[in-house]
Amino acid sequence: MPEKEISLLRDQIDKLGEKNFDLDAWKNYTMILIERIFGEGNTRVKMVRDLHYDYSSWNLRDATGIGKAFDPVKIQAREILQAIIAELEVLGTPEGKTEKPMALKLVAEELTGKQMRELEAILQSDQESKEEKINKIISTIEKENLVSLIVRILLA
């Protein structure tokens, strides 16, 4: 079981009750944690990113007078994190969550979408002539772009 991840998420739940709560700072920290656990671009991050206070006139009118004894944004945030924790407790961390290496991301900037798909297919295959096929794809990059690409890979 991913105890470290669950502990960090529970800490975020605890922060929802702090007196000096800052929603934007909380969201940024939480999104970083979730991306670290589940990878970039997942729906859990979007759910946290979409949390916000509604300052419309109807919402402000409903909050006047007696006042609300609860904060709907914090309740929603707590529910999201509790669902993530339950998922981690039952299913564990995702096995297939692997981020592309930086070199591959930089190469992708120089290739067309079709070339990149071909390159990824070659890298994942068990073919013996991988080097030759990769060489053929990479050789389509213009010389000055190739030099710039190598420099950026070395500096990454």
Using alpha carbons, select from 57, 141, 41, 137 the residue that is nearest to residue 94: 41
Instruction: Give the domain ranges of the chain.
Output: 3-91, 102-155
Question: Which residue in this structure is represented by tokens 């909050």?
Answer: 63
For the segment 123-137, the average pLDDT, to the nearest whole number, is 86
Query: 67: pLDDT confidence band, cut at 50, 70 and 90?
Result: very low
- The whole-angstrom distance between residue 59's C-alpha and the CA centroid of its chain comes to 31
d(CA 113, CA 109): 9
Per-residue model confidence (pLDDT) at position 65: 46
pTM: 0.55
